[in-house]
A = this chain, B = another copy of it.
Amino acid sequence: MSDKSELDRIDLKNCPICNGIPANMQDAFIDQLDYKVLHVKKGEIIARQGDIVKALYLLVKGSVKTEMTNEGGQVIGIENMKAPRPLAPAFLFAESNRFPVDVTALEPSVIIQIPKEEVMKQLAVNPHFMQGYLKFNANRTQFLSEKLKLMTIRTIRGKLAYYLLHHTASGETSCVLDRNQTELAELFAVARPSLARTIAELEEEGIIRHEKKTVYILNRHALQQLI
């Protein structure tokens, strides 16, 4: 498969797809797995937009960026990803099984490539692996659905209300945000000053109050009305 020194450094237990495999079975799992190890330098291209996805790509070390370029050569969207995580696992089994983006290493990185047939075999043989795979996809679907729901709310007030209500445990009247204002604005896909203004408005109206990253919900009902 590969030299043993490599295997020692591969940490699957933190990889979303494989972390369901019990610790005492992980070595056995790796040993019997048919895969390739890919070492890339900084700036090296791992996959190109349009390439057919023939294997499951697990980024086990390093970080990569993904870029989408249109027909005119312009770069449209960029996203960065850090190990450990699978790259585009959904595209392995999708009808259109081509990389939608260019994948480039941001630093020296290690990627494991598991051929599709091997993935299917393991899915059938190893229920932990199957659970992990299904769970990852399921979680991703939920994540995307949630985000989409947020995006279909048109006003910033609405998005903020939705976000706050969903981040406050029922019964609680406050929550601690895990993002700063800039990141929140990005999540909402709105401009940062616009978000700041909306927050200020809601505070003026006595609906919320905030100190640093803690938000107090003073009028839950009013918040619900905003969605």
Contact = CB atoms under 8 A, between A and B. Distances in A.
Interface of A: 70-72, 74, 76-77, 90-96, 100, 120, 123-125, 127, 130-131, 133-135, 137-142, 144-145, 147-149, 151-152, 154, 165, 170, 189, 220-221, 224, 227
B141 A96 contact: no
Contact of A141 (B70, B90, B220): B90
B189 A152 contact: yes
Q: Is the interface of A mostly helix, strand, loop or mixed?
A: helix
A147 B152 CA distance: 10
Contact of A227 (B70, B100, B170): B70
Contact of A148 (B72, B134, B151): B151
A74 B137 CA distance: 30
B144 A91 contact: no
Given A127-B124, A131-B93, A224-B74, A144 B148 contact: yes
Given A76-B227, A120-B127, A127-B124, A134 B93 contact: yes
What copy number does this chain have within its complex?
Answer: 2
A125 to B, nearest CB: 8
B144 A94 contact: no
Given A70-B165, A127-B120, A147-B148, A142 B90 contact: yes
A189 B130 CA distance: 36
Given A120-B131, A141-B141, 18 more contacts: A71-B220, A71-B224, A90-B137, A90-B138, A90-B141, A93-B137, A94-B139, A94-B142, A95-B139, A120-B127, A123-B124, A123-B130, A123-B134, A124-B127, A133-B134, A137-B141, A148-B148, A148-B151
Nearest to A221: B72
